[in-house]
Copies of this chain bind each other. A is one copy, B any other.
Amino acid sequence: MMSDDLNILVLSCGTRNKIVQYFKKEVGNYGRVIATDCSELAPALYDADEHYIVPKMTEEGYLDTILNICRANDIKAVLSLIDPELTFLAQNKESFLNIGTTPIVSDYKVVEMCFDKYKMYEFLVQNGFKTVKSYVDKEQFYSDVEAGYINYPVFIKPVKGSASINISKVTSKEEVELLFSRFDNLMIQEFMDGIEYGADVYIDLFSNEPVSIFIKEKLKMKAGETDKSVSFKDEKLSKLIESFVKTVGFKGVIDIDIFEVDGEYYISEVNPRFGGGYPHAYAAGINVPNMVINNLKGNINENIIGDYVEGIYMLKYNEVVIK
């Protein structure tokens, strides 16, 4: 029966072949996985059961294009793998729900906070979570340097950047001045000399409770993505993440960056979508596509927080699609 089909739409699939593959495996014969991208050079398109080349998100009529794809394919859930589109999905949640498609995304205000690093910083401070010292006011930063409250090197990055684009590590006031003279909307951020963790979390769409938390220590980054990582377990960190996730009110799948310096955990930022390191969690048995599908079937997911093995390594390498 058509309406029982568990059809999933993955927007802006890009190079996230693994996510498309996992959903395909999970829906099996009970549905189809459809993927879109604005470029036919997105390799993940070719792992889907069907794909559409769509206009850029910024073009007029984009919402209608996607809604039409949802209708034509009886899509039960839609998700996106790129940041700007999370805002789009969150903004247009109602339009999707009206045609029977559930956007797997947090609420608009939550998504927006994730993409404004300074807003997130203020939220974390106000709610008593340790985080990475951040400044949009460079004079305030200079005065804190004088006071010995923060030291060089520091990172300078766009307040609204993603994927480590345009991040500079700077060691002097001259460099800060140079960058601030060239670019707008920059933020100065403390350099955290410690261990970096990533947490893949699923927040149940019915219970609004985090039901799985997979923590990995990041061992090596490449182009802003976790290239090598090892699974890690710590009750204190897990509880911190649970508390943070509930305080903000995330929904669906998110990825949190955390630093550990001198035994203290500092929450850094959140990608309110599948993180680039999610294949590690999946391999460790944290099957988020299954949790999504379980929610779509009307079931609440059981709590499996901490239900994985520590010390399992994930090592990425390049596979190729030839077209």
- Whether B18 and A318, one on each chain, are in contact in the complex, defined by CB atoms closer than 8 angstroms, is yes
Chain B proximity of A274: nearest CB distance (Å) = 12
- Whether A313 and B41, one on each chain, are in contact in the complex, defined by CB atoms closer than 8 angstroms, is yes
Q: By the criterion of a CB under 8 Å from any partner CB, how many residues of chain A are at the interface?
A: 35
Residues of B within 8 A of A174 (CB): 178
- Whether B283 and A320, one on each chain, are in contact in the complex, defined by CB atoms closer than 8 angstroms, is yes
- Which 10 residue pairs are nearest across A and B when measured between Cβ atoms? A43-B315, A319-B319, A223-B223, A15-B317, A17-B317, A283-B322, A313-B323, A315-B321, A279-B320, A316-B318
Residues of B within 8 A of A321 (CB): 314-317
Return 20 A-B CB contacts under 8 Å, by A number.
A15-B315, A16-B317, A18-B320, A41-B315, A174-B178, A178-B178, A223-B223, A279-B318, A280-B320, A280-B322, A283-B320, A284-B322, A312-B322, A312-B323, A313-B322, A314-B320, A314-B321, A315-B320, A316-B321, A317-B318
Residues of B within 8 A of A317 (CB): 15-18, 43-44, 318-321
Chain B proximity of A287: nearest CB distance (Å) = 14
Residues of B within 8 A of A222 (CB): 223
Q: In the complex, A314 Cα to B15 Cα: how many Å? A: 12
Is A219 at the interface (CB under 8 A from chain B)? yes
Chain B proximity of A171: nearest CB distance (Å) = 8
Give A228's nearest chain B residue, CB to CB.
Answer: B41
Q: In the complex, A153 Cα to B314 Cα: how many Å? A: 39
Is A57 at the interface (CB under 8 A from chain B)? no
Q: Annotate A174-212 by CB proximity to B: 1 below 8 A, 0 otherwise.
A: 110010000000000000000000000000000000000
Tell me the interface secondary structure of chain A in the complex: mixed
- Whether B319 and A314, one on each chain, are in contact in the complex, defined by CB atoms closer than 8 angstroms, is no
Give A45's nearest chain B residue, CB to CB.
Answer: B315
Give A221's nearest chain B residue, CB to CB.
Answer: B223
Q: Quickly give the copy total for this chain.
A: 2
- Contact of A15 (CB < 8 Å), options: B18, B219, B280, B318: B318
Is A82 at the interface (CB under 8 A from chain B)? no
Is A296 at the interface (CB under 8 A from chain B)? no
- Whether A42 and B315, one on each chain, are in contact in the complex, defined by CB atoms closer than 8 angstroms, is yes
Is A119 at the interface (CB under 8 A from chain B)? no
Residues of B within 8 A of A318 (CB): 15, 17-18, 225, 276, 279, 316-319
Q: In the complex, A174 Cα to B276 Cα: how many Å? A: 37
Give A168's nearest chain B residue, CB to CB.
Answer: B168
Q: In the complex, A178 Cα to B283 Cα: how many Å? A: 46
Q: In the complex, A316 Cα to B227 Cα: how many Å? A: 15
Q: In the complex, A276 Cα to B223 Cα: how many Å? A: 15
Chain B proximity of A181: nearest CB distance (Å) = 10
A323-B319 contact in complex given A219-B41, A220-B41, A228-B41, C-beta closer than 8 Å:
no
Q: In the complex, A293 Cα to B139 Cα: how many Å? A: 64
